[in-house]
Amino acid sequence: MGSKLFAIFILGFFEAIAIVPAHAQQNPMPEVSQSWRFSVTPYIWAVGVNGTVNTNDGISKTTSLSPSNVISDIRGGLMIASEAHHGNWGIGLDFLNANLGSQPGKTATGTMPNGVTVNADLSTKANLKDTAITAVGMYTLLNTPSIYMDGVFGARYISSTVTINANLNLTGTLNGQYVGSKNIIRNPSMTTNTTDPIIGLKGRYRIADSAWYLPYYADIGSGGGSNNMTWQAMFGVGRAYGWGDLTLGYRALYYEMKSSGSLQKVTFQGLNLGATFHF
């Protein structure tokens, strides 16, 4: 089921291009002027998760969720970005909220010195509830017919709650006869909040004077508190229309927390599909 949804997500960008009515050739490059220009971009990020989560309760877990699994297991979320520009200056806000989960299982069998055979069935479920808010100021560094670039400076806030549900069932047998069982359940949880300054670049490159363009974004930051480093990057392809833009890109967001944090070198990454409305 998850793989089918993932395939639909990939094809959605090309289907959207096919059904949008044709317009006259659109210039995808922003027009820098003393008039205000605004944009709103709802998007879908088929995010995969790779890294180690920590509950600070003696349990840490390496988590790897493919984008297709995340799509099928996602519990909810909201993803939207907006910008406002006046002249060379601008401000931007990106809000991302997602509730993700995975549920691997393991079994093992061993024999104790007294001859009792123990069958262990361990099921664990890692839940990630993440909210990331990036607020930035922007200044236009380059504005030509083919290249547009803004310098980015601001901060990113992230709130991450990690819950690991561990259920261990032990069953003992001796010479094939049942001798006893025990069930152990642990549900440690940990929440980490951090706000970090960031700097970066964003913009787009126009392809051969057409309505097609290559959007890009990159930032990096580090701060006090629980975070050692964070960075984010995106690169993709887009097309301009009279009403706005459609873009498909690959986006990655990395967080490296200190030992007391809930995210230990975790990367969120996957395809990002967005529709930008200009007004």
The domains of the chain, with CATH numbers, are 2-24+34-104+128-160+191-278 (2.40.128)
Q: Judge whether 246 and 44 are in contact, CB under 8 Å.
A: no
Q: What is the spatial distance between Cα 25 and Cα 45, in angstroms, rounded to a whole number? A: 28
Q: What is the pLDDT of residues 16-66, one digit of tens each?
A: 555 555 444 689 999 999 999 999 999 988 877 776 655 555 444 445 544
pLDDT tens-digit readout, 90-147: 999 999 987 766 555 455 565 666 665 656 555 556 667 788 999 999 999 999 999 9
Q: How far apart are CA 221 and CA 153, in angstroms?
A: 10
Weakest-pLDDT range from 78-87, 157-166, 204-213, 266-275: 157-166
Q: Give every CB contact of residue 43 below 8 A, 6+ residues apart in sequence.
A: 79, 80, 81, 272, 273, 274, 275
CB 206 within 8 A of CB 29: yes
Higher pLDDT, 269 or 203: 203
- What pTM was computed for the model? 0.73
